[in-house]
Amino acid sequence: MNHQNQGLRDKKKFRRNMRISLGIFIGLFTVLIVYLGYSVIVYGERWFATPYNPRIQHSTAIAGDIMDSSGIRLAWTEDKKRHYHPEKDVRRAISHVVGDSGGFSMGAETIFAKQLCGVDKDIFSRINDAVSGGSSIGSNITLTIDSALSEYIYDNMNARDGSVVILNYRTGEIIASVSIPTFDPEELLSGEPPEESSLVDRATMGKYPPGSTMKIVTASAALKANIDISYTCKALEVIEGQRITCVKKHGKNDLKGAFAKSCNTYFAMLSLELGGDKLSEAAQDFGFNTDFNFSDINLYASSFENSLNKGDIAWAGIGQYKDLITPMHTAMISGAVANGGVMMEPRLLKKVGNESETQPKEYAQVMDSGAADKLKEYMLEVVNSGTGTSAKLGIKGVSMYGKTGTAEFTEDGKIKNHSWFTGFVDDESHPYAIAVIYEGAGFGSKQAAPSAAKFMKKALEG
């Protein structure tokens, strides 16, 4: 009798366990359904719009026109062939933004293929197209870029490798984005092999050490933590065996002065004062280590790594160690300072067909407006009396604000410097932020800063 009771109890337990297992299976399949739905809805657009997607190149649709912000045709289809802007220099200046119809590069031709080829049409009109056998016509799209300005920038970069980005910091519109080495889509499609690494858009995919431009982030962390140290620069500071140097002795400075003179040792000490966690947090706030997943551009993530070593943290605070950033992101950071701490999502698509214009999207409030105002003051000081005097515009009523950067990297065993400048202008009709980098070109103040002034002046004319 006892034995039977035991059996019954076991049976009850067994049945309960089966129900629990059923719950596990239902749970597993629920995870599947939710994950599938989530990933297709959130990442679907990006997965679709890659150069690897054969559907884009094999589309039977006649792709629509691509135009710049003033309505100049940049790409169109005629006699079943894709044509690009008639001038070679314009084609080369905007090739990374516009892309190509062969799926070699990651430009508008690929990212907006859905609109251009009409793949975004609903299923009924697509079935209709398939049954009738005729080719459908995609939509025309208008981009935010200014092709004339892009050509000017391209011509005046004087074939130096690097990238220039100009953004509207109020709306996030990309006004110009030029990257060298570049390619000509006409030549590419006719089968000519592209120059080495020319298909990579340095503006969005080039990850460079930010150098002193990182001091914007470090200074913002200090402002947030309300830390302002006073320190006398002796041009050398050794932290856990790592030598941090300045080009000259900057003397005694507070945050503002050190920022304007771009004093490395000051910022190294400030970084230690702040600590790795606070620095990391600030970098995170500015968008480092995040997957941007923007709808209009394929922007690579910037990276910032914390460390337990004090020397590493000091280097990280002045934009070396493992810090990496894209020129586009650098321009976004300057833009956020100008825009009261609000970083806008960069946009490339102005409108599709005759639909209404796309709306600005906020990316994040990356710092409070008080800190942004302080940083603006610092960045004005850089151009007025600091390292960035060569970026002065010389225009009445409009000032340039900025930060120079000289980022060390090693190539073939030799130490070289990327030349950086990033900044913005306080012109309400042209609220533009800029980032300029020349690869291995030397000091930011000597190369990138004067270029930035030149390009900005041109942009303000338009």
Query: What is the C-alpha separation between 4 and 7, in angstroms, rounded?
Result: 5
SS3 of residue 457 by DSSP:
helix
Q: C-beta of 127: minimal distance to other proteins in Å?
A: 5
Query: What is the C-alpha separation between 328 and 323, in angstroms, rounded?
Result: 15
Copy the structure tokens of residue 273: 């004062």
The region of 30-38, 182-190, 315-323, 368-376 touching other proteins under the rule CB under 8 A is: 30-38
Indicate whether 15 belongs to the interface with other proteins (CB under 8 A).
yes
Q: Which of 8, 17, 252, 322 binds other proteins (CB under 8 A)?
A: 17
- Number of residues in contact with other proteins, rule: CB under 8 A? 43
Q: Which of 83, 126, 170, 454 binds other proteins (CB under 8 A)?
A: 126
Q: C-beta of 106: minimal distance to other proteins in Å?
A: 11
The region of 40-48, 75-83, 215-223, 453-461 touching other proteins under the rule CB under 8 A is: 40-48
Contact 226, 270 (CB under 8 A): no
Chain center to CA of 299: 5
Interface of this chain with other proteins, residues 130 to 149, rule: CB under 8 A: 130-131, 133
Q: Which of 2, 14, 356, 394 binds other proteins (CB under 8 A)?
A: 14
Query: Under the phi-then-psi rule, with left for phi > 0, alpha for psi from -120 to 50, and beta for the rest, what region is 143?
Result: beta
Indicate whether 158 belongs to the interface with other proteins (CB under 8 A).
no
Between 118 and 431, CB nearer to other proteins: 118
Contact 354, 142 (CB under 8 A): no
Indicate whether 44 belongs to the interface with other proteins (CB under 8 A).
yes
- In 157-191, which residue ranges form alpha helices assigned H by DSSP? 185-189
Return the exposure string of 378-393: e unless at least 16 CB atoms fall within 10 Å of the residue's CB, then b. Answer: bbbbbbeebbbebbeb
The region of 42-50, 193-201, 329-337, 386-394 touching other proteins under the rule CB under 8 A is: 42-50
Backbone φ and ψ for 406, nearest 5 degrees, come out as -130, 105
Between 39 and 70, CB nearer to other proteins: 39
Q: Which of 8, 55, 238, 461 binds other proteins (CB under 8 A)?
A: 55
Partners of 325 in the β-ladder: 208
- In 190-326, which residue ranges form alpha helices assigned H by DSSP? 202-205, 215-225, 255-261, 264-274, 276-285, 310-317
Between 2 and 429, CB nearer to other proteins: 2
Q: C-beta of 59: minimal distance to other proteins in Å?
A: 11
Query: What is the C-alpha separation between 232 and 269, in angstroms, rounded?
Result: 10
Q: Which of 8, 88, 127, 293 binds other proteins (CB under 8 A)?
A: 127
Indicate whether 234 belongs to the interface with other proteins (CB under 8 A).
no
Q: Are strands 174-180 and 162-168 parallel, antiparallel or unpaired?
A: antiparallel
Between 40 and 227, CB nearer to other proteins: 40
Judged by the rule CB under 8 A, the positions of this chain that interact with other proteins are 11, 13-15, 17-22, 24-26, 28-29, 31-33, 35-37, 39-40, 43-48, 50, 52-55, 58, 119, 122-123, 126-127, 130-131, 133
